[in-house]
Amino acid sequence: MRIRHYRIRKGRAYWEPTARMRAAGFRLVPLGVPGPDAWAHAERLNAQWDKARKGANAVETYPHGTLGWLFTEYRTMGVWAKKAPRTREEWELAWEIIKPVRGRAGRGDRLPELRYVLHAARRAL
């Protein structure tokens, strides 16, 4: 079985997008140890690419390293699926409030604005 864009380098699995995919906002994703979990994650990423490629982009793509990218990655992890439905719903509602804040994760230039938005979101819930 061959999984598109799935590569193994130095004993680690990666999902490796093409130049066209990178131009659309997809980035190299380390998948960890090769195996069923890595294969499933690669298939999810391929499904996201297929949606984006066909124009039915139900899942927004964000540039690598942004808060949006970080939240999208978190939602593809197994931890997200284990959260209670109500918790996931609350996080999605909070994300709708936070989403307008654009900027790269880890940079301090947007930190005051993000703190204000997070505080307002917490009061709203």
Q: pLDDT (tens digit, 9 = 90+) per residue, 61-105?
A: 677 767 777 777 777 777 777 888 888 888 888 877 777 665 544
pLDDT score recorded for residue 114? 56
- State the Cα–Cα distance between residues 14 and 39, nearest whole angstrom: 10
Tell me the pTM. Answer: 0.47
Asked whether the beta carbons of 113 and 82 are under 8 A apart, the reply is: no
pLDDT score recorded for residue 81? 75
23 or 106, greater pLDDT: 23
Burial of 85 (C-beta count, 10 Å sphere; 0-12/13-18/19+): exposed
Mean pLDDT confidence for 27-39: 90
Strand partners, 104: 66
Mean pLDDT confidence for 34-61: 81
Alpha helix segments (H runs only) across 1-125: 19-23, 36-53, 67-76, 78-82, 85-98, 111-124
